[in-house]
Structure 1
Amino acid sequence: MMRTYPIPFNEEARVAAVQNVPGLTRDNQEVFDSLCYATAALLDCPIAHISVIEEDMQWYKSVIGIELADMPKCNSFCTHTIMSEAPMVVTDLSLDPKFKEHPMVREGGPQARFYAGVPLVLSSGYRFGSLCALDVVPHDMPDGKTLKVLEHLGKSVVAALEKAPAEPAAEETDQGHATFLTLVGHELRTPLTIVNGGLRLLENKLEDNLTKRLARSSINSTDHLAKLVESILKFSNMATGELQLNEQAIDLSNLLQEIGEAHAPTIADGGKTLRSFEPQMTETVLLDPEHMNICVASLLLNSFLHGGNVIDLSCKLDPNGDIEIMVTDDGNIDENLDLAELYRPFIVGGNVEQRDTKGGLGLGLPMTRKLVELHGGEFEVRANPSNTEACIRLPRWRLAQ
């Protein structure tokens, strides 16, 4: 069964920051229980807790109204809460496609129905968990004033935890390589502007129609890439390496068709073929279109540079109802290659048949994996006898209702 919870883009740095907070221990103090009681009273709920989310598990600084043991992240509502700066409120969990099959919601479990929580953000900017309230009956949506008080209670949890430091200091982490956000902010924006301007000057001087068409195509591509970069930066936090989703209800088939049409001329000019995309889904999907554009474009580019001569792009629902986006080419990966290496930054694959190591820093597949995990999905490359498949799988709760 596939994982269905999202993974923050800056997860490694976030977990390291959480584990380095001196006051964030399992030893409870009365102040945290008091804040939980205040939260439960505010939202008229029998249960409230302060959760701490680490790499694989969720544990509790304080719990009132129920006994809770450590919980795997796949059973945690709070793993979703920390993905946003805003409160997360679900008035009836049994009606929400994201949670209706959750073990704490369906029959046989506690049958939770109402959830309201706010992310708990350290002074360093990293999210470590949530302050939330739960009930076994649905509630109406709390008003704005109530949610504002809940946010202030969340800030009080952090202040009590960190002893309200006068000068918040950013957490220092050794991440080895520059983060993606630094890369796009400082390494792509400036050269993109230069390339785009140069191409526009060149287009005005060209007379041959074919050459002018190629120049115009290149200008359109740089305009598109610049738009993607700006969108990523708009929903990012440069201090922590965090990335937020700009989710929209999207016709996935149309989106993939547009991506395929945008890249087909480049693939054809390189002597390869991108077969016509045949829509296989009519459902609307809730996702960040710019992020998914980056993912699919990266996979197409990877197949173009390192794959076979024929490339296919497709999407469908698998037997479990999960969403699959596939980029397949007729190239073969060396059987001695460790596929896990492909997901590491700055690795381009080593000794690979029909896949040279030119054309990239090895950031495409690791970036795709992190953006897909941010959506709560999974990404893998599969080496088959006759082809290579790159598969993006998104959980079925992303089918827009």
Structure 2
Amino acid sequence: MSLNSGLSIAPLHPKEKERLEALAAYELFGTQPEHQFDEIVSLVAQICGSSSALLSLVGEDLLWFKSRYNYAAESGPRDGSFCSHAIMHDDVMIVEDASLDERFNQNPLVTCPSTHVRFYAGAPLLTEDGLPLGVICAIDDQPKTMTPLQVQTLKVLANQVVAQMNLHRSVARMQAINQNKDKFFAIIAHDLKAAFHGILGFSEVLDTDFDELEDKTKREIASYLNESSHTTYKLLENLLEWARLENGAMPYRPKQLQLDSLVEETVAGLQFSAAQKNIHIEIQLQPEIWVHGDRHMLHSLIHNLIGNAIKFTPEYGTIRIYDETQQDKVIISVEDNGMGMTPEQVQRLFKGDHNQSTKGTHGEKGTGLGLLLCQQFVQQHHGLLEVKSSVGRGSTFSFSIPLSAKVLS
């Protein structure tokens, strides 16, 4: 059975978009029951003296019953449900006799003899920002009243559910961080070892056989040492940025930024690299677009994406930077007409699989950290980083960031 009726549809929450985003961040919708939630739901039924109890997460169209006590269904439609009404309340919503409540007296759960729902009491699960994620509720087939102590206890148990949800989210985040650390350390160990093997090997050759080497060979060794040193320095630079981000030493400090000025400033620092391959960089941005973002993170993000485009674009190629506004965000794209990638290569991009890395059109080496940092910087701005690519035709990296209030007003 489901707590649903098409006869009394609750209005959407005033902050429905933010509410759904908050719910998604917990990554609990659609997941199976867990004992820490089951214990609380069982306690709700005992405290309220009800035959059934639920921990109901309210999604866009569905209710997901994360935990159930004496209740068979795993989910139900949102429209017309008791829970869709309950999330509109800051306090406990109590329906003592649903047959006498005009919102629910025609609900099949109330009118059907096999279910015969009469009593419902639901406490919203509120985030620190006051956004309701769902409801913890008691259900019975007999009319009931609740004492002040029962009401207060139900609210306390709702707070305990939210505390468990926060703990669940924190554990998931820590697991993700540990996975990222393992990934990054594998990249670092591989890159540093390879770089220093070359640097130490050729340094030893110069030290022991300098007088016997031809000038051409000396120049080739010097060029290799210079390139390896720059690559290793970039690796350490990316590593430092990642470490600062993970340790909270790189706080997210958004402010109003003029997009074209930020991009032009970043491109200016890459013109020398582009000129070495005779690559033309076109900036095609709308004027007077202001974004809400962290200057350092966005500079590093754009620098990495353009740097990658230069790496994989052949001589006399073109890189185009353009934007598109959509409601409350702007999508910035870096497009090149370079080597391009297969669908399999695109899927591996953000997995940190260094063994599958590709050299640039001039044999340039990457650090393996750049795109992973880009992804994290975009996530800090609550945006998405997307890639479109075709072998031999080039790639386009696009990311979204919020427009500033200056533009929206």
Q: Which bin holds the TM-score, normalised by the shorter protein? A: 0.3 to 0.5
Per residue, is there more helix in 1 or in 2? 2
Larger Rg over CA atoms = 2
